[in-house]
Amino acid sequence: MTESWHGTTILSVRKGNQVVIAGDGQVSIQNMVLKPSARKVRRVGKGDIVAGFAGSTADAFTLLERLETKLERHPGQLMRAAVELAKDWRTDRYLRRLEAMMAVANAEISLLLTGNGDVLEPDDGLIGIGSGGAYALSAARALIDIDGLSAEEIARKSMAIAADICVFTNSHLTLEVIDLAKD
């Protein structure tokens, strides 16, 4: 019998002059917390891209490595690297068994990547994945139009709401911010 692992909430918020990806730290198996402080958000490329992952950790690290390789081949082209990764992920016999999702962002674009070959850019600049992703995404959608709240503040408040609702989400955050160039 395989145990069901739970415990990821990843949220990406793009607003004003910031894009943020936040992730909680909880890793659970059934009703037991295995680790409260996992780091599921990382900088990739030359540090100008942030990626958050949900799903199997080993699978996610494999995908992050593949994304790094694609970015080396297509520097400065996150969309192209993501599409190339998604093609491989869907067609490669080994990769298509990987169970993970990723939210990736740089100064220009935010993307959701799935093993179904999806590379989706959200219309509203918000992405939520993982067991608490819908809760964090809903909270972010409610907060996004409030004047005076930065992307980072929205991400922090939304993740706190998700942690209060989802038993597989905690309040130990890893948060990476990219400050966007001002016009």
- Compute the CA torsion angle 91, 106, 136, 117 (nearest 10 deg): -10
Lowest model confidence (mean pLDDT) among 63-72, 91-100, 111-120, 150-159: 91-100
State how far Cα 170 lies from the chain centre: 16
Q: Across all residues in the chain, what is the average pLDDT?
A: 89
pLDDT, position 95: 64
Q: Domain for residue 183, yes or no?
A: no
Q: Considering the chain, what percentage of its residues have pLDDT values greater than 70?
A: 91
Backbone phi, psi, residue 142, to 5°:
-70, -30
* 42, part of any domain: yes
* 120 domain-assigned: yes
**Domain harbouring 64, CATH code:** 3.60.20.10
Mean pLDDT for the stretch of residues 1-27: 83
In a domain, 182, yes or no: no
* Residues tagged active-site: 8
What are the structure tokens assigned to 105, written together?
A: 């962002």
Q: Please state the pTM of the whole predicted model.
A: 0.91
Whether the pLDDT of residue 10 is over 70: the answer is yes
SS3 labels along the chain: CCCCEECCEEEEEEECCEEEEEECCCEEECCEEEECCCCCEEEECCCCEEEEEEECHHHHHHHHHHHHHHHHHCCCCHHHHHHHHHHHHHHCCCHHHCCEEEEEECCCCEEEECCCCCEECCCCCEEEEECCHHHHHHHHHHHCCCCCCCHHHHHHHHHHHHHHHCCCCCCCCEEEEEECCCC
Distant-in-sequence, close-in-space partners of 181: CB < 8 Å, separation ≥ 6: 17, 107
For residue 172, the enclosing domain spans 5-177
Please write the tens of the pLDDT for every residue from 24-64. Answer: 998 888 888 888 898 999 999 889 999 999 877 777 788 88
Q: What is the pLDDT of residue 20?
A: 98
Number of domains in the chain: 1
